[in-house]
Structure 1
Amino acid sequence: MDLQSLNNDSLSAIVAYLNCSDALRFSVVVRSFHTIAKYHALHYVTLSSYGALVNFCRLMLSSMSHRLASILAIKAKLWIENEAEMADSSWLGPPPVPVKEYRATGALFADVLERANNLRTLTLNRAEVWMDYEPRIADAVIALRNLDELILRDVGPTVSRVIHRMQSTPRKLGIPEVDGSLFFVHTSFPLDDHLRLPFVSHLIVYGNMALPSVADLVRVFPNVRTLDLGSGWVKEPPVLGMEINWPKLEHLEGRPEVLTKWRNVTPVHSVRLTIDFDMSYHDNPKTLDGVRNAQPMGLAISFGSSADTTYWSDLASVSRRLRYLSLDAYGMRYSKHWQKDLKTSIAAIVPILASADIVCLKILCCPPEHKAADMQNIAAIDLAEYETCEAIRTDLPHAAASIPSLRYLSLDVYACIGEPRHGTVEHPLDGRTYWWQYDGPGTEKVARTIDPARGERIAAYLHSPAYDCRRNLK
């Protein structure tokens, strides 16, 4: 039982078993734990609302000012509007937060950043907007010396100034744009011709309004190992299909259509495609050319009900080095017959993979949330889904055994929104991960369950550059 759910009467009954001396000692210990836990909580702070940011700044600048130097991470994920967006929506009434208040809060946040001089991680949503409201925020970020991770979402001239002048050498740098179809975005993000940031190994860049093309990014960030291009569009290189030389590039993420616009000179160890593309594949089979150019050992994709035999055949042969394959049936969550669609897809995938050299296959699925209209028949619906999930969990290891090279298999069922699904009967797979290891030669091998934690470690190894597909996996 959660102690926080106990009321005062229940807590009094528990403490009543202590004598006075023990009760006094217990109170001292509890106060010490409270103080230590409170200090620890302030090491890593995530702020998801405007009110949370205001309260945090006021707390840290008053009673907790002595802890400012102990803050290691601030992730300000809240959303704010700039003046242009407020003007566009003025017909709806006055803005929830006026510009004057944003400026005042920006000043408080700048005060915090100026004194949090040991900060290792900083994420700031609508960074350009905040820096327009309070320029001292930009100066404070520039002055930080110990940042290992810096993500400034919503870029423009001021964020560009921060990137040019920052005194930190962050390993991970994110400069994604916001969606230009929904929000006001800057079209200027100047990068000096002589700017070089060789310390950045993990680069996050979304958007095609202000950010430069990949050809310019490789000049500024020559030592990138992980490149995340998000699920949107990025600016095309000056020559379609041009070769880019990122010699250390290991992991690549992005839309399949975006990855076809250029190719890296050296192969990339792993690729993750960030959107379902089985529907667009039928219109343009060259959608997979980006993966084909990368020749990855690890590939992670999501797919929907439109994936057919032609699609899977092309996918299985997309890289001669492919050993790790992660398939997320995320697109099926919209289907009324997701269980049938998933079983059909598995039945189509397995025979095709028999001709590939897949060592590890991971299948993920996200059951749809029950709608209000389903609640009257919730018991019957849950029972049917329960039986289907049981059948998938039981049949999958046997079916996948026909893939000669397969050594490891995983089935992961997760909630799309990160919360348990509502229903009177819990699915046997909901929120669980299953792993199997195959023992024995060829198609005669037998599956046995292994600890999911061990399975995830194996998957991480296969997904890392440490794995060499030319050597047998021991």
Structure 2
Amino acid sequence: MGIGSLDEDALHLILSHLNRADAHRLSWTSRSLRVLAQQQVLKDVTLSSSFHQVVAFCEYILNDAPDLLQLMRALRVQNLMKSPDQRIRMMPEHDHSANDLRRGAALLADLLQQVPALHTFSLHYAEVWMHWEPRIVTAISSMQHLKELEFTDIGPGVSDTLRTLQSNPTKLSLADVRGLQSVPHMWRMDPTGISLPSVRILSAKVRYHLPGAPDLARIFPNAREVYFGDGSTPQFLVPSLGQLPEGERVPVVDWPSLEVVRGTGTGLKYWKNAHPIHCLELLRPLGKNDGSTFEMAGAGGPNAAWEREDALTAVRNLQPVVLLVTLSARLGHRYLRSLFTTSRRLRYVSAGVWEVRRYQTWLSDLVPWLSAFEEALQRLQGREIVCITIRFSILPEGHPLSEPMDSDPSTPKSYAGALELVVYLLRQWAGDIPSLRYLSLEVRPASKDFRAGASTLGTAMPLASSQAHGTASVSNKLPRPGECESFWWKFGQDGTPRGGTPIPIAQGERIARFLCSPRYHWEENLDTQLNEDLSVRDSLH
């Protein structure tokens, strides 16, 4: 039975499970699929290659397929644009005349006026587009169903759009234009008259163009999660000490809805919320060199000593229950103890290990760090860490740095062999931490900057072998991009064995999500709360 013999309902069902790229490829295999696949593709459109691509798409959809406009649910316009006062020489393919830019912006405005059901919209170089065609402001602000909205390049046009917005988005992203082609202006977002109580997740990766924290708290009174980016520049206007109330050295913001904050220690050390934050993720690794070079603060490299101190200040200011952080394997127990005791509410630590990237040297890299970690935890003086996640990154096979520098006969000869040794070591290590109830290990491919990404609040695809065999199985293959090899163990109390009992990945992930949610009360018994919480209880038995 060929695919062409299926009825339209069956074809729709097949296509609904495909992403945009797969639907596009499938559309060329059968004429009967052409129209249906085209409809699937146009539900989610990303235009990122060039200004000419945006113009060509607008011309096609407006002139040749206007009936398909009503199907569009997501549109992302993310191409490079030229500012009217741009003084940096553009690459030839991005250099356009004023008439071309004005015409292209008019076409985009025409399109935006005819997509009433749009749920997701992203516009890079927003102020440039709005300069060439002010109708874009009206078109966006008139939409009724937007749930996710993103702008890069923040100024008066974006301010007017947000001020008159008729939708109630739950996710909003505001970002600078980055790179050599940045728009050379010093506009700022005008907060007057802007209020977006529907926003729950706010991304504010803007160095200079947003108002101060009090205005952000007023504009987004119900934001639960705020992402400030991983830049080292503070994200808030910092008043002088003479402007602060007597006895205060850090400005205090009254933002009671905030539950999760993602940022850098440097960006958060000048900022304090009147209400403690439940979860803090420090986005820059807390590094320490081996003493052979000076410590420097690079954009993608390990942090200098002063940045480690900034991280301590940020944790002290925000008092999180959950801390997600990437740590150097060279950090000693004194710094780790300071990090873990600065927040008296801390109960869950998700720690990526910065220098652990080659499975051949996992043990030699990890043992000193685990010893320092354990010594730090043993000196917490009554403060209990109930859950720990350890995250490693692994270099892909064939990477120049993936081969060991020596031929030590004790070096593991395979990824699976190395992982089994690490699993054994971790279970023995965790058994010596009296307060610990749960331990997890995550192994994923190294990112471009070699960070061990924090996935507790995000999503990762478990390897098929790990998913099928719970947490007791070790895969023979290195995880591929997008995959994560996960293991979870539960540790008993009151004299029960401390070797650690494997638990299913799904159960562990539910426990992690519970710990990261405000439903978890840091002063109450974890097991009691897990048994009372409906989202977790069924998976425990």
Above 0.5 in TM-score? yes
Q: Which residue of 2 aligns with 1:363?
A: 390
Tell me, yes or no, if the aligned pair for 1:390 and 1:428 is still in contact at 8 Å.
no
Q: CA deviation at 1:351?
A: 3.7
Q: Which residue of 1 aligns with 2:536?
A: none
Whether 2:501 is the aligned partner of 1:448: answer: yes
Q: Which residue of 2 aligns with 1:257?
A: 266
Give deviations 1:368-423, integer Å, cap 9, x for gaps. Answer: 35676569999x99936554333213321221122222222221122234999xxx
Letter in 2 for 1:282: A
Whether 2:374 is the aligned partner of 1:350: answer: yes
Q: Which residue of 2 aligns with 1:282?
A: 305
Judged with a 3 Å threshold, the aligned counterparts in structure 2 of structure 1 residues 175 and 372 are, in CA distance, closer, same or farther, namely closer
Q: CA deviation at 1:336?
A: 11
Q: CA deviation at 1:54?
A: 4.8
Q: Which residue of 2 aligns with 1:60?
A: 61
Question: 2:434 and 2:34 mapped to 1: Cα distance?
Answer: 56
Question: 1:373 and 1:285 mapped to 2: Cα distance?
Answer: 34
Q: CA deviation at 1:47?
A: 3.6
Number of corresponding residues: 446
Whether 2:327 is the aligned partner of 1:303: answer: yes
Q: Which residue of 1 aligns with 2:524?
A: 471
Tell me, yes or no, if the aligned pair for 1:362 and 1:411 is still in contact at 8 Å.
yes
SS at 1:436 equivalent: strand
Whether 2:226 is the aligned partner of 1:227: answer: yes
Judged with a 3 Å threshold, the aligned counterparts in structure 2 of structure 1 residues 386 and 465 are, in CA distance, closer, same or farther, namely same
Whether 2:5 is the aligned partner of 1:25: answer: yes
Q: CA deviation at 1:164?
A: 1.5
Q: Which residue of 2 aligns with 1:174?
A: 173
Judged with a 3 Å threshold, the aligned counterparts in structure 2 of structure 1 residues 241 and 374 are, in CA distance, closer, same or farther, namely closer
Question: 1:168 and 1:118 mapped to 2: Cα distance?
Answer: 11
SS at 2:70 equivalent: helix
Give deviations 1:435-473, integer Å, cap 9, x for gaps. Answer: 323242157333232332332222111101111223323
Q: Which residue of 1 aligns with 2:490?
A: 438
Judged with a 3 Å threshold, the aligned counterparts in structure 2 of structure 1 residues 64 and 432 are, in CA distance, closer, same or farther, namely same
Tell me, yes or no, if the aligned pair for 2:264 and 2:311 is still in contact at 8 Å.
no
Higher mean C-alpha displacement, 261-270 vs 333-342: 333-342
The correspondence of residues 192-341 of structure 1 with structure 2, limited to 5 A, is 192-232=191-231, 233=233, 234-239=235-240, 241-279=250-288, 280=303, 282-283=305-306, 285-330=309-354, 340-341=364-365
SS at 2:413 equivalent: helix
Question: 1:373 and 1:336 mapped to 2: Cα distance?
Answer: 13
Question: 1:208 and 1:147 mapped to 2: Cα distance?
Answer: 26
Q: CA deviation at 1:267?
A: 0.9
Higher mean C-alpha displacement, 295-304 vs 206-215: 206-215
Q: Which residue of 2 aligns with 1:82?
A: 83
Q: Percent identity?
A: 30
Q: Which residue of 2 aligns with 1:397?
A: 427
SS at 1:347 equivalent: helix
Question: 1:442 and 1:300 mapped to 2: Cα distance?
Answer: 29
Give deviations 1:263-319, integer Å, cap 9, x for gaps. Answer: 111111111111113445733635312211211111111223442222211111122
Judged with a 3 Å threshold, the aligned counterparts in structure 2 of structure 1 residues 446 and 382 are, in CA distance, closer, same or farther, namely closer
Question: 1:33 and 1:398 mapped to 2: Cα distance?
Answer: 56
Question: 2:327 and 2:79 mapped to 1: Cα distance?
Answer: 30
Letter in 1 for 2:144: R
Q: CA deviation at 1:434?
A: 1.9
Q: CA deviation at 1:244?
A: 0.9
| Residue 415 of structure 1, aligned match among 445, 457, 460 | 445
Judged with a 3 Å threshold, the aligned counterparts in structure 2 of structure 1 residues 344 and 81 are, in CA distance, closer, same or farther, namely farther
Give deviations 1:70-124, integer Å, cap 9, x for gaps. Answer: 3222233444343555x4236xx63444245444433333222211111122122
Judged with a 3 Å threshold, the aligned counterparts in structure 2 of structure 1 residues 304 and 96 are, in CA distance, closer, same or farther, namely same
SS at 2:118 equivalent: coil
Taking structure 2 as the reference length, the TM-score comes to 0.72
Letter in 2 for 1:25: S
Whether 2:151 is the aligned partner of 1:98: answer: no
Question: 2:401 and 2:262 mapped to 1: Cα distance?
Answer: 37
Question: 1:80 and 1:337 mapped to 2: Cα distance?
Answer: 46
Judged with a 3 Å threshold, the aligned counterparts in structure 2 of structure 1 residues 32 and 187 are, in CA distance, closer, same or farther, namely same
Tell me, yes or no, if the aligned pair for 2:148 and 2:169 is still in contact at 8 Å.
yes
Judged with a 3 Å threshold, the aligned counterparts in structure 2 of structure 1 residues 169 and 334 are, in CA distance, closer, same or farther, namely farther
Tell me, yes or no, if the aligned pair for 2:321 and 2:522 is still in contact at 8 Å.
yes
Q: Which runs of 5+ in 1 are unaligned?
A: 1-17
Give deviations 1:224-269, integer Å, cap 9, x for gaps. Answer: 2222211122233324501111111111111112211021111111
Q: Which residue of 2 aligns with 1:142?
A: 141
Question: 1:382 and 1:308 mapped to 2: Cα distance?
Answer: 26
- Aligned residues: CA RMSD: 3.6
Question: 1:24 and 1:242 mapped to 2: Cα distance?
Answer: 65
Q: Which residue of 2 aligns with 1:121?
A: 120
Judged with a 3 Å threshold, the aligned counterparts in structure 2 of structure 1 residues 35 and 331 are, in CA distance, closer, same or farther, namely farther
Give deviations 1:328-386, integer Å, cap 9, x for gaps. Answer: 224655999676434432332234234442222112222235676569999x9993655
Letter in 2 for 1:471: E
Letter in 1 for 2:92: P
Whether 2:73 is the aligned partner of 1:72: answer: yes
Judged with a 3 Å threshold, the aligned counterparts in structure 2 of structure 1 residues 72 and 454 are, in CA distance, closer, same or farther, namely farther
Taking structure 1 as the reference length, the TM-score comes to 0.81
Tell me, yes or no, if the aligned pair for 2:163 and 2:193 is still in contact at 8 Å.
no
Question: 1:128 and 1:342 mapped to 2: Cα distance?
Answer: 49
Q: Which residue of 2 aligns with 1:460?
A: 513
Question: 1:329 and 1:399 mapped to 2: Cα distance?
Answer: 16
Question: 1:451 and 1:357 mapped to 2: Cα distance?
Answer: 24
Structure richer in helix, relative to its length: 1
